[in-house]
Every structure is written in structure tokens, then in C-alpha cells.
A and B are shown apart, each in its own frame.
Chain A
Amino acid sequence: MAGALMSLAPSHPANFALSLRGVGKQYEVDARPLQVLRQITFDLRRGEFLSIVGASGCGKSTLLRLIVGLDSEFDGDIQISGEPVRGPGAERSMVFQDHRLFPWLTVAGNVALGLDGVPLLAAAKRERVAELIDLVGLSNFADAYPHQLSGGMAQRAAIARALVSEPEILLMDEPFGALDSLTRVYLQEELLRIWAKRKVTVIVVTHDVEEAVFLSDTVLVMEPRPGRIESVVRVDAPRPRDRASREFTEIKGRILGALRR
């Protein structure tokens, strides 16, 4: 097949925000290789919202670390808009389970971290930081230090830090896992509002199936030892989704069934 034709093929990685081809990862444990991820292949459309669910130890967090560029030792191919991933890049950012705000910086200072690697004038940076703090509803806490924030507020600040550089892909590693259930539901709705507004491609790793169904266009179900894709579930239910609807429970049941296999 000619190269020109390849680039026109709808399945070509350049047509996707993110493309994984046969991604695998091995660790050495006690001088013996341990396969953590095997043959992970999927494509993500621009603006798509993907969740990855799976039992602990299925390598879903490892997968996220490979995509964001924290770990460059892996097999297979990871491509962002057709470009292979080599280390971290401006088009990707990450929200961790622990908010990881620097305790010695204010909320505004922490959000500004996301722009430190970006060539912009100081005034433009300040404006962007203020805009993002406003977007996550923390305008009154811009000068607060992390220890003065609740868990939910800290996580919102972390989301602002990740989005301030206007990345194409937002990676979130169990972002609401450490929060109480009320705050979690509230932040899920907030995240969808921000996602709709910023038109960013999102991958959320979670162990909460309901969260995955509520948020995503697509749910990737992974199984452990070695971590691999068990199934891919499309969620076609219209938004905003009703967690109590039959359709919602049906999809949730399907994913839970896949996880139990």
C-alpha cells in the first residue's frame, strides 16, 4: 500500500487525538520480568471522553503514565495526532489522585505552574490563570494555600492547573477517588461542564463503574495479570445522564459483568 493512501485511511493514527498500537510494559521484579500491560490497542477521537475501569493491578494507572510521558520504557506505539510520544508534551496534562498542589504555592501559583513551560507574556499568563480559577469556581480562593482547601477544592485547583496550558488531552488518574461521595458526584458534573466548554479529549482512570458510565462516551474494561483490554463498551445514553434510568443501569450491569469474568 502506498504511503499517501495510508494517510487517508480512516484508521490512520493521524486522524485520532490518541492512538495506541500494541502497547506493552514489563517490570523487573526480583530479577524476573513481570508483564504489567500486554497488547493495548485503541484509538481516541478528538473530544472523546474515555474511561478506563478495571480491578487494581490491571495496569490502568501505568497505562496513563506511559501516555503522559512519565515512563518512556514500553513496547508498541503511542501516537498523539500521529506523532509518537517521547516524554511529556504541552498537548497532554495530567490530574493525579492526590491533588499534588505544591504546599508552598497559593492556588493561583499552583495553577500558574501549568504555564511555566509555555511561551506567553506574563500578563497573558495572569489572565489565563484567573480564567481557569474562575472556571473551576475557586475565584475566592486564588490566594489560599493548599492546606486551607478542602479535598474537593484542592482537586478542582489541580484540574485548573492541568487545563491552563490548553492541552488537547487531559489524563486523570482516579481524580475523585479520595473524595466523599457527595463531592465526587458534584465534581463529576463539573468535569462534564468543563469538558463540554473546553472541548478537550479526556481519559479518566477509575475503579468506580458508575462514574465511568456517567462521564464517558466509551468505557475501556481492563483485566489484570497481565493488564489487557477485556472489552470496549460504548455509552450512547444521552446527556445529562440519569443514574437511575434503566439504560444507565443496564450499561453499568454490562460493565460489571465484564469485570467479573
Chain B
Amino acid sequence: MSDVTVDLPARKSPAAFRLQGLVVPGAIVLVWLAAVDSGLVRGPLLVPLHDILTGWLLDESGREIWPALGVSLLRLAVGFAIGGALGVAAGIALGLSRPAQQAVAPTVHAVRQITLFAWIPLLTAWFGNGEAAKIAFIAIGVFFPMFVNTEQGLRTIPAIYREVAFVSRLPLWKRLTKLILPGALPAILIGVEVALLTAWIGTVGAEYAIGTGRGVGSYLAAAREQFRMDLVLVGVLVLAIVGYALSRISGLAFRRLIKWRAR
């Protein structure tokens, strides 16, 4: 691609990096083609590469990955919005008030230690096996990285800027919009990057584990049930591509929103 912007001429161009990054996947593809597609190795778990690459377009069951993907992304968006809003709000509230921080933070940090998937039995007990449990699961996965990064972002705003706000007698609302949010934004965006990936893993995990309804996770579960290894791999490929895309999107958002930093 030639439209890649290079901001530092001294550094290696991103395009060069990308080419080097393709060495390992390229090698895997070649070995796969040589071993499986040629018919050299056969087995129920080894699916020819062209079946995987064409599966989501040509195979009738394979095409169901598209609506499944749509459902999953929608679920991710809803769960992310809820968990993200709550995480940022809690992070700001605790970052602003020292008493609130001391009263609530230890509990939140303790609850954070619960492994994400350990929530599933609890959530299905509370919300049933439907949509609410999945959304809640994603929201919990998003809440913690957003909360932790927002709180930390608030705490790391330099005291010298707080003094300026104090001397200028900025009202609370202006302090929020002009000092606290922009000052914490880099940390919040790092939270977004982590939370998006957690949310994606959480979405598919919830669909897979809870099992009802549609989505990429349910698609994977169904493909495994029917022993369609080609479709399982189609699902895995989609998982990887979406995960990569989400991480690229958050990186792009970072550069777009934080243009005030000297590069």
C-alpha cells in the first residue's frame, strides 16, 4: 500500500514492517498448501486451505458466518457501550473524590481478580441463558480495563496543571472538560484498546459457553458439533481478523484524538 503516512523518516516505514510480519503466516500457508492441499497428508482434522478460504462464500452452512458476525458485533457494541460508560464514569468519580476512592477502590480491585469466565455461572443464574447474560458478561469484561485506566489516567494528571485550574478557579464542569478528561484521555484510550479485545473474546466466549442464540461463538460451537473442521477454521479466521481490526481501530483512534502530542 502506498498511501501509508510516514511521520518519522528516520524510522523504518510501516510498510516494511508489515512485509516482515507476513513471513510467519506466509510460511504456514505454504507448508499447509504443500502438505494438505496437495493430498500428501490426510486426516479428519486437516482441512485443505482452499476449503477454508472459500467456505464462507461458497458453502451453504459456511455463509452463515456473516449474519453470525453481524449479531456478534452488535452484541459487542452494546456490551462495550454499557461497560465502557460505567467504567469511565466510575473511574472519574473515584479519581475526583479521595474518600470515594478509599472506600470503593479496594472492593473493585478485589472483584477485578475474578477471572472473566468465572462470571458465567453467576450471570446465567441471574439473567438466564438469553441476551442479557451475554451483554452483562461483555460489559463486565469491558468495565474493568476502562475503570482501571480512567482512574489511573486521572491520577497521573500533573499537579502543575491542577494548580493552574485552581488558581484560575475553573468551575467543576470546565475542570472536567478542559483538564480531567483530556488529561486522562491517553490512558482512557489505552483502556479502550484493552477493553475492545477483552470484549471480543468475551462476546465469542459468552456465545460459545452460554450456547443459545446466534453469533460467531455459537457458529463455532455448532461447527464443532457437526465436526465441520473447515467451518471451525473459518470461524477462527474471522475471530482473528476481527480482533486485529479492533486493535487497529483503537490505534487509529488514539492517533486521531491525541494530536496534541509532539511526535
A residues whose Cβ falls under 8 Å from a Cβ of B: 68-70, 88-90, 92-94, 96, 98, 100, 102-105, 109, 113-114, 116-117, 145-147, 161, 165
Contact = CB atoms under 8 A, between A and B. Distances in A.
A214 to B, nearest CB: 26
B110 interface: no
B174 to A, nearest CB: 4
A90 B170 CA distance: 11
A145 B178 contact: no
Interface stretch (B99-107, B144-152, B157-165): B157-165
A103 B260 contact: yes
Given A103-B260, A165-B168, 9 more contacts: A68-B167, A70-B167, A88-B167, A88-B168, A89-B169, A100-B163, A102-B164, A113-B174, A117-B168
Contacts of B262: 147
Contact of B166 (A88, A92, A105): A88
A113 B168 contact: yes
Q: Which applies to chain B's interface (DSSP): helix, strand, loop or mixed?
A: helix
Interface stretch (B62-70, B179-187, B219-227): B179-187
18 contacts: A70-B163, A88-B167, A88-B169, A92-B167, A100-B164, A102-B164, A102-B179, A104-B182, A109-B178, A113-B165, A113-B178, A114-B168, A116-B170, A117-B168, A146-B260, A147-B261, A161-B168, A165-B168
A89 B167 CA distance: 7
Q: Which applies to chain A's interface (DSSP): helix, strand, loop or mixed?
A: loop
Contacts, number: 66
B258 to A, nearest CB: 8
Nearest to A104: B182
B166 A70 contact: yes
B171 interface: yes
Nearest to A94: B167
Contact of A117 (B160, B163, B169, B183): B169
Nearest to B165: A113
A98 B160 contact: yes
Contacts of A102: 161, 164, 178-179, 182-183
Contact of B169 (A90, A96, A109, A147): A90
Contacts of B167: 68-70, 88, 92-94
Contacts of A104: 182-183, 185, 258, 260
Nearest to B263: A147
Given A88-B167, A90-B169, A116 B178 contact: yes
B166 A117 contact: no
A103 B160 contact: no
Interface string B103-119: 00000000000000000
In the A-B complex, the 8 residue pairs with the smallest Cβ-Cβ separation, listed nearest first, are: A117-B169, A147-B262, A104-B182, A116-B174, A104-B260, A145-B260, A88-B167, A100-B164
Contacts of B169: 88-90, 116-117
A105 to B, nearest CB: 7
Contacts of B179: 102
B171 A116 contact: yes
Interface string B251-263: 0000000111110
Contacts of A113: 164-165, 168, 170, 174, 178
Given A70-B163, A100-B161, A102-B179, A116 B261 contact: no
A116 B160 contact: no
Contacts of A165: 168
A96 B166 CA distance: 13
A200 to B, nearest CB: 16
B182 A96 contact: no
Contacts of B261: 103, 147
Nearest to A89: B169
Interface string B182-214: 110100000000000000000000000000000
Given A104-B185, A105-B178, A117 B171 contact: yes
Contacts of B165: 113
A165 B161 CA distance: 18
